Amino acid sequence: MMHRRKVLSLGISAGVASALLPTRARSADDEQTGFRIIDTNISLFRWPFRRLPLDDPDALVKKLRSLGIAQAWAGSFEGILHRDIAGVNQRLADACRNRAELIPVGSINPELPDWEHDLRNCTEEHNMPGIRLHPNYHGYTLDDPRFSRVVELASSAGRFIQIAAAMEDTRTQQALVQVPDVNLAPLVKLMRVMPGARVQILNHNLRPPLLLQLGETPGVFFDTSRVDGTDGVPQLVHSVPPGRVLFGSHAPFLIPEAALIRVHESGVLDEASLRTVLSENAGQLFGNTAV
């Protein structure tokens, strides 16, 4: 079970991001921004194909603290290729329990028999606020009935769903494990029949027209982790309705400083917009998550 203090902090109403945050001394960066930063996209443990400098949870948390990141939503790299998903999620929950900044986001693989059991474990045993999916590594598409069933069950349990559109640039993948990016187009149609579902797309590199179609789709959110170009994040923010873009770093696979700098480097986003991306929009995705 999640630590009680953390559980209480997660029982929030939509848009009330400050209540979502664990108690922590304010850092120099808090003082600089005037708000506390939420990273909606990190992962714990070992990337399957190389050691990463921050793949130790303590080292990662130390780095996040040094950057002024008050809370980070953590999936597990193990969830990409492991088939014992219950074990994956147990280790994730254990790692997050005594690290106040970390919120566990469990992995679900609907290709595996009895994946519903893993989902129940996430919601009932570990009290996780959301789940993370890797459709490309797990071998299904977003028009697969099993995917819509995952969205339906998770949403009815009040959980958000994160879809990792990619984990790395396809051009740099291990030659024997080539995995195309997730085709996100079916999500537009699916979300129309899933009112109340909240889905965040991670690690994407979306372009119009699909970006605009997804932006017009209620319940779809975006992270910033692989949105590149000096004004790429402001362009994304201005391309979709307010409240849809959430800061995500994809650390420790990517260097967390990179994502933080990209949000503000162009000077295009004003203070209010920076606050929503770096902090408040996370509360919109969290919604009335009943944990």
Partner 1 sequence: MNPADMQLGLPSPEQLKGYRIWDSYFTPAWSHPGADGSSGLLTDIERSLPAIRKGQFEKLCYFPHVGTGTTNDAAYEALARSRPEVILKPVERWPDLLLGMIQLNAHNVPASLDAINRWLRDGPMLGVYFPGGGPGAMTCTHSNFSPLVERVAELNGVIMQHTWFKTGGKQGPGESTPSELAELSARYPQQKFVCAHGGGEWERGIRAVRSSPNILVETSGFDATAGFIEMAVRDIGAERIIFGSHLPSRSLGTELGKVIGADISERDKKLILGENFRNLLRPSVKAAEHTPRGRE
Distance CA 97, CA 124 (A): 15
207 binds partner 1 (CB under 8 A): no
Q: How many residues does the chain have?
A: 291
Point out which span in 45-53, 132-140, 143-151, 184-192 binds partner 1 (CB under 8 A): 45-53
235 binds partner 1 (CB under 8 A): no
Distance CA 35, CA 18 (A): 9
In single-letter form, the type of residue at position 49 comes to F
Identified binder of partner 1 from the candidate list 54, 80, 92, 245, rule CB under 8 A: 54
173 binds partner 1 (CB under 8 A): yes
232 binds partner 1 (CB under 8 A): yes
Using left for φ > 0, alpha for ψ between -120 and 50, and beta otherwise, residue 244 falls in alpha
Residue 3 burial by Cβ neighbours in a 10 Å radius (0-12, 13-18, 19+): middle
Q: Which is nearer to partner 1, 23 or 178 (CB)?
A: 178
CB of 226 to partner 1, least distance (A): 6
Q: How far is CA 198 from the centre of its chain?
A: 12
> Mask of contacts with partner 1, 121-160, x by CB under 8 A?
----------------------------------------
Identified binder of partner 1 from the candidate list 196, 218, 229, 241, rule CB under 8 A: 229
Point out which span in 110-118, 148-156, 192-200, 227-235 binds partner 1 (CB under 8 A): 227-235
Q: Which is nearer to partner 1, 152 or 231 (CB)?
A: 231
Q: Which is nearer to partner 1, 26 or 83 (CB)?
A: 26
Distance CA 92, CA 11 (A): 21
Point out which span in 107-115, 142-150, 191-199, 264-272 binds partner 1 (CB under 8 A): 264-272
**Helix 232-239 to helix 256-264 angle, to the nearest 10 degrees?**
70
3-state SS, residue 43: strand
CB of 291 to partner 1, least distance (A): 29
Query: What Rg value do the Cα atoms of the chain yield, rounded?
Result: 17
Closest CA to 70 of 109, 35, 112, 122: 35
Closest CA to 7 of 259, 238, 290: 290
Cα–Cα distances in Å, from 265 out to 102, 135, 258? 27, 32, 10
Distance CA 80, CA 277 (A): 27
Q: Which is nearer to partner 1, 3 or 264 (CB)?
A: 264
Count of residues interacting with partner 1 (CB under 8 A): 50
Instruction: Please give the backbone phi and psi of residue 223, each rounded to the nearest 5 degrees, phi first.
Output: -105, 175
CB of 268 to partner 1, least distance (A): 8
Identified binder of partner 1 from the candidate list 116, 192, 228, 290, rule CB under 8 A: 228
50 binds partner 1 (CB under 8 A): yes
Residues forming the site for partner 1 (CB under 8 A)? 29, 32-34, 37, 50-54, 67-68, 168-175, 178, 226, 228-232, 251-271, 274, 278
